[in-house]
């Protein structure tokens, strides 16, 4: 079975949001069109407490987008975003959620960031997504969403690490940094993942 993973298509990550990804809203029609091609559709959702240590606001004297160290890991200090229970944390209203079977929330531990939909950045705790996919008999995962050079990238890397045949739908993701996205795509290929276009996926027979 193959699954579509829709990563963090949330209000705070589209233009006008607290941590807007350039052109982030442009992938939503693609995300909607892709869903019928898959037997299983799963979404992830950044779901931070307001006290999260990845927020620059929680580090006096530090500024947004500076890097620091957090429990031995390099950490970008982000604007406050996707706070639990806020409108910014909600999935974008234009995203079709009828086919989404499950939503996995991440970044709930205030002490460590969680880019990947499968693990936190230190691989200390699993979200349960990998076991969920295995329980459904999934062998192939196709990854799309926001942002291409962070949460999409880390999800693809962890899916490969967990033994899934992994495809990044290149044009169904948008990055914070174009250069960073090129590096991320090269790394995914180096690790054994594959890059694919939405047109190629849409040309496949729809799931029944």
13 token code pair? 């990550």
pLDDT of residue 208: 55
CA–CA distance, 45 with 145 (Å, rounded to integer): 11
Taking the domains of the chain in order of start, what are their residue ranges?
2-48+81-203
| Gyration radius from the chain CA atoms | 16
**Closest to 72 measured CA to CA, from 44, 53, 100:** 53
Cβ neighbourhood burial of 61 (10 Å; 0-12, 13-18, 19+): exposed
pTM exceeds cut of 0.85: yes
CATH architecture of 2-48+81-203: 3-Layer(aba) Sandwich (3.40)
Residue 27 is given by DSSP the state: G
**Closest to 9 measured CA to CA, from 38, 41, 37:** 41
Q: Tell me which residues are annotated as active site.
A: 8, 106, 151
pLDDT of residue 23: 96
CA–CA distance, 11 with 2 (Å, rounded to integer): 27
For the stretch 44-57, pLDDT in tens is 999 999 999 999 99
């Amino acid at each position: 079975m193959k699954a579509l993973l829709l990563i963090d298509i949330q209000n705070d990550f589209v233009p006008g949001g607290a941590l807007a990804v350039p052109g982030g809203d442009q992938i939503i029609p693609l995300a909607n069109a892709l869903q019928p091609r898959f037997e299983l559709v799963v979404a992830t959702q950044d779901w931070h407490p307001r006290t999260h240590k990845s927020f620059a606001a929680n580090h006096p004297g530090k500024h947004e987008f500076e890097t620091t160290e957090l429990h031995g890991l390099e950490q970008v200090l982000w604007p406050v975003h996707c706070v639990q229970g806020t409108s910014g944390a909600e999935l974008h209203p234009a995203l079709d959620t009828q086919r989404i079977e499950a939503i996995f929330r991440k970044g709930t531990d205030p002490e460590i960031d969680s880019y990947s939909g499968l693990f936190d950045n230190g691989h200390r705790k699993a979200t349960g997504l990998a076991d969920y996919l295995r329980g459904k008999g999934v062998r192939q995962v196709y990854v799309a969403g926001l942002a291409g050079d962070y949460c999409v990238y880390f999800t693809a890397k962890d899916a490969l690490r967990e033994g899934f045949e992994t495809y990044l739908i290149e044009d169904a993701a948008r990055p914070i940094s174009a250069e960073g996205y090129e590096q991320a795509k090269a790394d995914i290929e180096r690790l054994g993942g594959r890059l694919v276009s939405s047109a190629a996926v849409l040309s496949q027979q729809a799931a029944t």
